[in-house]
Chain A
């Protein structure tokens, strides 16, 4: 009996010792892993406490390892600068037609460019195009309108000159551009309107069209070009496929009246398709068949399936539909976040009998599309872990693919739970060996 008691105490001591050993091993392992894998916040300290450190900013002015102190960082610059604009082309009328050719333009706008037959017998400058307007503007500005005939009745040069001491606002010159040709008064009038004196136009050069003769009054822009709508990348997509039946009308009413569904609709890119919709017929009819109408399709921003239900599998009321949409959303998010930890059944979100599985209800065509991707990695950035089920070792490849995110190296990449499991397994095996030897 005494021997047995001693043996029991010794066994307990072995247990305690092994437990301590396992705890110590886990502690050592975790400490070493932390040392090998500094967190992202810690990395900044390695960069000399400089908040701008990083591979993308390291353009020579910003170094690594504390060498950047005292260096003024450059401001971020646009990667692409807009080239100079051809304003004449911007404001001209766009009227090109097909390769079969166009009938000559006949708009009032272009007619002023067409040479007009000026009766030779008429010597008055009033007959020249734009003369009346130019004269009126010259009087308004207090400028002298000058025109010189060069012998031929179809040749004339004209310009407007301000009194001594005054200049045109835009150019600082006294005289507007000296224009040649029968449309010169139009051009001078345009210059005066803009307070602009442009350079003289060479002979035979077409007169700029728009400034003076645009027949349409300037329009106040509906939205300033400088105001950009918010970028909507990442918006979820919601599509209804509706027919003419009562159930389709009910579904539409749900999304029009139910506050929660309306809120969801407004936060997503929302579209309604019918059987006669041209886009549906051309590109979506093979995905959702007309016999499955009404159908609800909820996708992420790239088109990834989150929820799909149609026909008899569609919930009977808006509350159930919202609940299913929410479950589908949560399930898809959890799959993306931790694929190896999501149990399809435990989540409660996946019920194939109710049509929440992609394969169960949606056309197999899309699955074929997915299968086409096998080995199709033109850009060399394919991630093998996403196309296959998770396997031990996949994490290693996954992390190694993150080029540039971290420069830290390690012998083994594993998370804490994997390390603990491994250490416990080793400890249990050792314990088993010890116990077997003791009892045998």
Chain B
């Protein structure tokens, strides 16, 4: 009898109390959205000819940028107000007049850190890109992330690309390898401007599960 009791005692010593089976476990975050500033294609603004017959690429780019920042009403007003060509100083003057004074920042030095900031904060920006042209920068993305959403993209996994929305070709994104992009950007003038506002929220995902 005593050996039996001892065995029971030992088994009880090794047994814990199961108060609650359900515990929470973190889930892996999904791959980053690509592009980082994933403006829906339905909201891509196409370029237009202004009253003077000039392309309005700067304003179209800014409209795309504002829409991503959830300022669709301001984007509509801007698009209705301004057209034709634009240069940096007048753009800033118009932004100041439009209520954005001290609510934007810019670079004229082709500083890649500016673009990194815009990527980290998911704001994107507008920049001088292509000859006499302005586009919307949608952030840097890795090749594998781009391929996950755009399997036909001519990119390589493990390489970082700048994602550009050209207002002459709405509905698609263009990809340029980072180093080449920065070099070409400097050749096109090295100007970029970002409105300081919160972008669209990230696509939510369940961060934990309870079992």
Which chain A residues lie closer than 8 Å to B133 at the CB level?
94, 96
Query: Which of B84, B108, B112, B134 meets A80, CB within 8 Å?
Result: B112
Q: Name A238's closest neighbour in chain B (CB-CB).
A: B201
Chain A: residues with Cβ within 8 Å of the partner, total of: 104
Q: Which of A157-191 contact B (CB under 8 A)?
A: none
Evaluate contact between A105 and B57: CB separation under 8 angstroms: no
Q: Which of B113-141 contact A (CB under 8 A)?
A: 113, 117, 120-121, 128, 130-134
Q: Which of A97, A282, A359, A431 lies at the interface centre, i.e. has the most chain B CB atoms within 10 A of its CB?
A: A97
Which chain A residues lie closer than 8 Å to B103 at the CB level?
222
Which chain B residues lie closer than 8 Å to A282 at the CB level?
40, 42-43
Query: Which of B113, B144, B189, B205 meets A378, CB within 8 Å?
Result: B144
Q: Does A86 contact B (CB under 8 A)?
A: yes
Evaluate contact between B106 and A225: CB separation under 8 angstroms: yes
Evaluate contact between A287 and B203: CB separation under 8 angstroms: yes
Q: Does A408 contact B (CB under 8 A)?
A: no
Q: A219-B93, A370-B206 are in contact. Are A98 and B168 (CB under 8 A)?
A: yes
Evaluate contact between A283 and B87: CB separation under 8 angstroms: no
Chain B: residues with Cβ within 8 Å of the partner, total of: 105
Which chain B residues lie closer than 8 Å to A284 at the CB level?
200-201, 203
Which chain A residues lie closer than 8 Å to B68 at the CB level?
279
Q: Does A153 contact B (CB under 8 A)?
A: no
Query: Which of B182, B207, B211 meets A389, CB within 8 Å?
Result: B211
Q: How far is the CB of B51 from chain A (nearest CB, A)?
A: 10
Q: How far is B183's CA from A390's CA once the two chains are assembled, in angstroms?
A: 47
Q: Does A249 contact B (CB under 8 A)?
A: no
Q: What string of 1s and 0s marks CB contacts (under 8 Å) between B6-23 and chain A?
A: 110110011000011011
Evaluate contact between A436 and B29: CB separation under 8 angstroms: no
Which chain B residues lie closer than 8 Å to A387 at the CB level?
27-28
Q: A94-B87, A219-B96 are in contact. Are A279 and B25 (CB under 8 A)?
A: no
Query: Which of B19, B38, B105, B201 meets A228, CB within 8 Å?
Result: B105
Q: Does B177 contact A (CB under 8 A)?
A: no
Q: How far is the CB of A435 from chain B (nearest CB, A)?
A: 5
| 15 A-B pairs with C-beta separation under 8 A | A94-B86, A95-B132, A99-B168, A103-B54, A225-B106, A225-B111, A279-B68, A279-B200, A297-B204, A305-B208, A335-B24, A343-B22, A358-B209, A362-B206, A379-B157
